[in-house]
Chain A
Amino acid sequence: DVKVTQSSRYLVKRTGEKVFLECVQDMDHENMFWYRQDPGLGLRLIYFSYDVKMKEKGDIPEGYSVSREKKERFSLILESASTNQTSMYLCASSIPGTGGRVQYFGPGTRLLVL
């Protein structure tokens, strides 16, 4: 089975802090994604990566950056956390050949920024 893990299930940070969210997948998938999920807004794509050191902006990249130094690991960085970044963050990876549409998700990190 595909396994996507995220470093924390719950995280509390203060405004202005730099926050690192880590995601690891064990199935050698090329594509990895970071979403945030907010009530009433569904899932919104922040960034995705289709290979090591490659990244593409999603729909809401402002205030975020990413890092993909190894194929299995995709990190989301909040350069200076703000209260409007309080959200559920979901990482996913996808099977090659499906155009990214069959995605396997991690359990999510619920981030609270005070």
Chain B
Amino acid sequence: DAKTTQPTSMDCAEGRAANLPCNHSTISGNEYVYWYRQIHSQGPQYIIHGLKNNETNEMASLIITEDRKSSTLILPHATLRDTAVYYCIVRVLNSNSGYALNFGKGTSLLVTP
């Protein structure tokens, strides 16, 4: 099953970069790192994913360490609307489906004015 460790909560000032860490020391070589977020009372939202190289899209950047045991999601200029729970996912559940996403508990990010 997924073994990710994220801080329970973090604060970030509006306009500053938010750096959300995730430890995934048991990740295997062909497993991707996925990040989702869930704003209160909404469905989860896909943010970004990567395998080895750093990735960037219009929402965020993903930095994966060379040994792949940890990663950091970076929101370069956090806004109040980025307040959400952020989930780092590195493995699908070993369920009947093989498709389920284990969201874990995530990091609750609070962006303050």
Residues in A lying within 8 Å of B, measured CB to CB: 4, 31, 33, 35, 42-45, 48, 56-59, 90-92, 94, 99-108, 110
Contacts and interface: CB of A to CB of B under 8 A. Distances in A.
A104 B49 CA distance: 14
Given A90-B44, A105-B43, A107-B42, A57 B49 contact: no
A48 B41 CA distance: 22
A72 B98 CA distance: 22
Q: Interface SS of chain B: helix, strand, loop or mixed?
A: loop
Interface of B: 32, 34, 41-46, 49, 89, 92-93, 95-105
Contacts of B102: 42
Q: Interface SS of chain A: helix, strand, loop or mixed?
A: strand
A101 B32 contact: yes
Given A45-B97, A56-B96, A101-B32, A108 B43 contact: yes
Given A43-B103, A108-B41, A102 B46 contact: yes
A21 to B, nearest CB: 13
Given A101-B32, A101-B34, A102-B34, A43 B44 contact: yes
Contacts of A103: 44, 46, 101
Contact of A90 (B43, B46, B49, B98): B43
Given A99-B99, A101-B34, 16 more contacts: A33-B99, A42-B104, A42-B105, A43-B44, A43-B101, A43-B103, A48-B100, A57-B96, A58-B95, A58-B100, A99-B98, A101-B101, A103-B101, A104-B46, A105-B44, A107-B43
A94 B46 CA distance: 10
A94 B102 CA distance: 15
A39 B32 CA distance: 26
A104 B42 CA distance: 12
Contacts of B101: 43, 101, 103
